[in-house]
């Protein structure tokens, strides 16, 4: 019997991806070249495209792609056999990237039928059905539902339950060799210890009052990840523009010893171009050069982005730029203040962390009346719009400045014992409201927002 295939649709699907590479964000996780392409040339073209997009560039042109192909002799031989760029260009021109969903559905239908046919089912007969052209891939799965357990996975819909505990010994060995610990939160040892760092597939939501410093705290952590750990991260902001975040980053690096510079300089002087003398000016510019040479931080201003835009951009940077952690300030619903919008965006962020195997950190805004709440009494009830997002969070914290009139009611607990709060300093109380990693001990930070210093001084205690 003639093999079940539709080569023209495979080719048009390939051409659409080469024409508009960012379509890979939507379709890349769904296309399985091993199953979906009956023609070897199409399989090769797709596999090359996928590697190119992930490792080279998100823009495809003749020079870039030919250089990529030339790096592998076997690949180059096949490329010439297929007609090289001239042939690929004709495929691109024939394709309509606006019609990719139709191409995809047809290709996926044929790949499903080929798999059923290999299992001995009369799959070829379905092609001759009068309504075959209007069928969706899931309609074909429904026809053979009783054999779904072994085949449905090629459209990404099937999961098989595992026997919990069967791999217990292997998992213990794995954890012994590689403990389940993420990236540390800069020099915050207690914060890191409680959460076991920021781990992949986990997200922390951190809440503060408006204009209390949530963007600055995020910048402190993100700068450490991207500059010291040199991990590719994506910072998404809808309340600060690129100049704002850059000024905050430079201020952070200048004033915190953990970055290796320790130059006392407030942010206001930096943005106004004010320097005490030529020596200070040179020192600051030297630090700026160090930032430029070491940064692994991608930045996007998100003020007009819908959830769909948010998902596309995150996937683009994770798949194309190797981003491992995302930071979002401030998590809010798109063009709405209702709780459903905020919860929907928070759910999307958590789902993307799971799907893409990345870590996430998002700031949230607390209600204005939180100003009347004692720092140690803050809870998810104080989240503006949607306390329900606590259910989505792996970790949730709230920060609030301790009023100086209340300093006598708190103590700092650290290796030196119980230390009273210094009236000359500013302290933030970090309330650990949720922690799936273990214990919940509140922490006190000594904070200087002008220099963006967040010094973890100890656990919180009471007199």
Q: For 10-42, how does the pLDDT look when each residue is reduced to its tens digit (9 = 90+)? A: 999 999 999 999 999 888 888 999 889 999 999
Q: Where is average pLDDT lowest: 222-226, 304-308, 373-377, 435-439? A: 304-308
pLDDT bucket at 336, cuts 50 / 70 / 90 = low
User: b/e for 201-230, b at 16 or more Cβ within 10 A?
Assistant: ebbbbbbbbeebbbbbbbbbbbbbbbbbee
Pairing of strands 410-414, 453-462: antiparallel
Would you state the pLDDT for residue 84?
94
- Choose between 136 and 262: higher pLDDT: 262
The pLDDT mean for the chain works out to 88
- Whole-model pTM? 0.76
Q: How far apart are CA 361 and CA 367, in angstroms?
A: 20
Q: How far apart are CA 453 and CA 427, in angstroms?
A: 11
Nearest in space to 115 (alpha carbons), one of 152, 160, 158, 159: 152
**Residue 155, token pair as written in the block:** 């459209």
pLDDT, one tens digit per residue, over 73-109 is 999 999 999 999 999 999 999 999 999 999 999 998 8
- Choose between 392 and 137: higher pLDDT: 392
Q: Where is average pLDDT lowest: 67-81, 92-106, 283-297, 303-317? A: 303-317
β-pair partners for 399: 430
- Choose between 339 and 375: higher pLDDT: 375
Q: Work out the percent of the chain whose per-residue pLDDT is above 90.
A: 62
Q: Where is average pLDDT lowest: 102-106, 159-163, 193-197, 287-291? A: 159-163
**Which architecture characterizes domain 189-462 according to CATH?**
3-Layer(aba) Sandwich (3.40)
Q: How far apart are CA 181 and CA 50, in angstroms?
A: 30
Would you state the pLDDT for residue 75?
93
Peptide bond into 330 cis (omega under 30): yes
Check if 7-155 and 189-462 are the same fold: no
Would you state the pLDDT for residue 167?
87
Would you state the pLDDT for residue 148?
45
Please spell the DSSP secondary structure of 266-285, one letter per residue.
-HHHHHTT--SSHHHHHHHH
Would you state the pLDDT for residue 64?
93
- What ranges do the domains of the chain cover? 7-155, 189-462
Would you state the pLDDT for residue 158?
46
**Which architecture characterizes domain 7-155 according to CATH?**
Orthogonal Bundle (1.10)
Most confident of 28-37, 129-138, 144-153, 262-271: 262-271
Would you state the pLDDT for residue 390?
84
């Amino acid at each position: 019997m003639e093999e079940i295939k539709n080569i023209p649709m495979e080719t048009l699907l390939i051409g659409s991806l080469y024409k508009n590479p960012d379509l890979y964000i939507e379709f890349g996780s769904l296309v399985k070249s091993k199953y979906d392409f009956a023609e070897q040339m199409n399989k090769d073209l797709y596999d090359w495209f996928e590697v190119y997009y992930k490792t080279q560039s998100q823009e495809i042109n003749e020079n870039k792609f030919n250089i990529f192909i030339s790096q592998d002799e076997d690949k180059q031989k096949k490329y010439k056999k297929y007609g090289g760029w001239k042939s690929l260009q004709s495929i691109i021109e024939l394709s309509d990237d606006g019609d990719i969903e139709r191409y995809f559905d047809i290709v996926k239908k044929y790949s499903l039928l080929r798999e059923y046919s290999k299992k001995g089912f009369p799959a070829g007969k379905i092609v001759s059905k009068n309504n075959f052209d209007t069928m969706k891939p899931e309609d074909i799965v429904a026809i053979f539902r009783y054999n779904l357990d072994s085949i449905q996975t090629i459209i990404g819909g099937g999961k098989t339950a595992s026997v919990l505990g069967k791999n217990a010994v292997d998992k213990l060995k794995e954890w012994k060799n590689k403990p389940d610990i993420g990236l540390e939160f800069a020099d915050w040892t207690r914060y890191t210890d409680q959460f076991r760092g920021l781990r992949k597939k986990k997200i922390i939501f951190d809440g503060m009052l408006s204009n209390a410093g949530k963007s600055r705290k995020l910048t402190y952590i993100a700068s450490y990840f991207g500059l010291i750990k040199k991990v590719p991260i994506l910072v998404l902001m809808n309340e600060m523009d690129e100049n704002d975040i850059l000024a905050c980053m430079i201020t952070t690096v200048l004033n915190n010893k953990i970055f290796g510079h320790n130059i006392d300089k407030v942010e206001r002087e930096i943005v106004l171009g004010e320097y005490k003398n030529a020596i200070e000016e040179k020192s600051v510019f030297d630090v700026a050069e160090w930032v430029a040479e070491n940064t692994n931080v991608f930045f996007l201003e998100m003020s007009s982005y819908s959830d769909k835009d948010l998902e596309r951009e995150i996937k683009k940077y994770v798949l194309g730029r190797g981003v491992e952690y995302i930071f979002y300030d401030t998590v809010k619903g798109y063009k709405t203040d209702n709780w459903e919008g905020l919860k929907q965006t928070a759910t999307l962020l958590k789902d993307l962390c799971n799907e893409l195997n990345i870590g996430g950190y998002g700031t949230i805004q607390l209600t204005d009346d939180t100003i009347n709440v004692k720092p140690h009494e803050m809870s998810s009830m104080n989240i503006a719009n949607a306390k329900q997002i606590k259910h989505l969070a792996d970790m949730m914290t709230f920060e609030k400045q301790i009023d100086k009139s209340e300093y006598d009611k708190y103590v700092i607990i650290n290796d030196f014992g119980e230390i009273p709060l210094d009236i000359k300093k500013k302290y933030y109380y970090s309330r650990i409201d949720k922690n799936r990693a273990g214990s919940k001990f509140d922490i006190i930070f000594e904070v200087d927002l002008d220099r963006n210093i967040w010094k973890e001084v100890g656990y919180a205690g009471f007199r």
